[in-house]
Structure 1
Amino acid sequence: MSTNESVQFHLRFVKEKHKELVSSLDDLVIALVGENVENKKSKAEIAFRKTKDLQASIAKTDAPPWLGSLSTGLNYFIGPTWNQNHMIDHLIKNIELIRNHVWKFENPSESAFDFDSIYEHYRAESRLPELFDEIVSILEEIEKSGVVDSLTMMKGLGKVIATLKKNRDGSYFSINSAWEFLVSFLKNYMWAELSNIPMLGTAMEALEKTIKETSDEMFKVHTSVEKEMRTVVEGEVKGLRDKSSFNFVSYDKQGLSLLGEPSSALSVNEKV
């Protein structure tokens, strides 16, 4: 079988797996509007298996961003983490994208390294979208609380919220820039101004916890991306084995201690 024939055979196989996944999602949508809880769980478990089958049939670099996030969402829905409204919302936003995806595979000798897809894969499989949403929700709660009387603070909060919403699903550069902007705003301005307001105590505690979780998740994603880039490049270009370097893929967890205390949940010093 020629290289081109092999690619075409693989393409047909992947398309079949994709078709099975779409069919399982259609069944899940029907189940979600019904009242049978066990049927909802059963259909979600089938869709989750079909998602895993599709993931197993392609390389990580060929996986579209929606595939990882769908797998994560279904996994949460099957367990105790996600509720039905989250699942329905996810499907409404992504079902047409999933249904209409066009698969293309190039001859390996002619294909380029797709570094963006590596990042998208690990971002989609991570908790970053969920955690960014939690941060936005907490900041919006603070914004609408009525206890912040500084116009400058309110303007800053609005800018941070809008930036996080716009960039949560963006490129490597976008999501990192949004995160750095958030951390700078919290550390250099917001935390000192609002942490002593009693009415915001619960919200600020929740924000601190979520920031720490997000920092940990950012570190995991960056570590995975750098490792995968090295693996892909060194696997394809033998002359670079043990020599490739992607130092720009870095995440420094230093300087996140918003309270200025070593024991703070946000005091971290890892770097990748």
Structure 2
Amino acid sequence: MKKMTSFDRFNRTVTDRYSTFKNRLDAAIAAFSGDDKDRIKLCAEKASRVEKAGNDLLDILSEIDRPKWLKPITEASKNFAANPNRVQAKSYLEDVVRRYHQVGPINVVDSSGVYDFDSLYERLRSEGQLPSLFDKMMEAVSNMLEHGELESVTVIKALQRLLDALKANREGSYLAMSNTIDFAVFIRNFCGEFLKRIPGVKEYAVAMEKTVKAAEAERAKLDSDLQRESLALIVDAVEIAKLKQLPSREPLVLFAVADADVADAETVKRLENKSTGDE
């Protein structure tokens, strides 16, 4: 079994703490959908848990590794938890909704020396359905905003934030794309049923729901393709690195060394003798 390095342990800690933060953030947002009299108190308690999880992440990340969304959400959670009232609750929800599409896994691994992930992602994205699905989501959201039947300011702002994110990240990085789909899922769960009850808006809300589901499936396919092709590229890069350290006189010998995963001088000499019949 491969021994875990200090960096591996650190990266695992970051991943675990991010998962805790994300789960608590989702729970805090979900708490706002209730209608009982103690809802604001419950939401404030959830926000306090978000604050703690955010601080746990901030404590172990260097300034350069801290994502831009982490501190603002943590601070907003702290302020709301300290002053749980309707005004603060509305401000907190709007702030979180505005930043939610930015939230994503924290990657502190530098793989730039192994392969060009961005180029691979851009190629696979263009070959798939994500660009057209983003277009369909933008069309559905635009139709809902332009219909004139919406009266909820919070829902209108949320839809506008989603539309802005879809436009900005249609051809953005992998993280931007993935976070935007997560944001679309959040909007669907947060106000999908409400939108489907509004005459004239229902058909667009249904279309949006189906398109978001399709985008989730397409992202899963893209993730699988990225994993498969990335692994192949990494293996190739490792093999090339091995070969650069070996004599290059006999291609046959180099091929044999790469296959056998050996690189010591004695083995190279033995293979050279074997290929020439001198052994």
Which TM class, normalised by the smaller chain length?
A: 0.3 to 0.5
Query: Which protein has the larger Cα radius of gyration, Structure 1 or Structure 2?
Result: 2
Return the TM-score normalized by structure 2. 0.44
| Higher helix fraction (1 or 2) | 2
Return the TM-score normalized by structure 1. 0.45
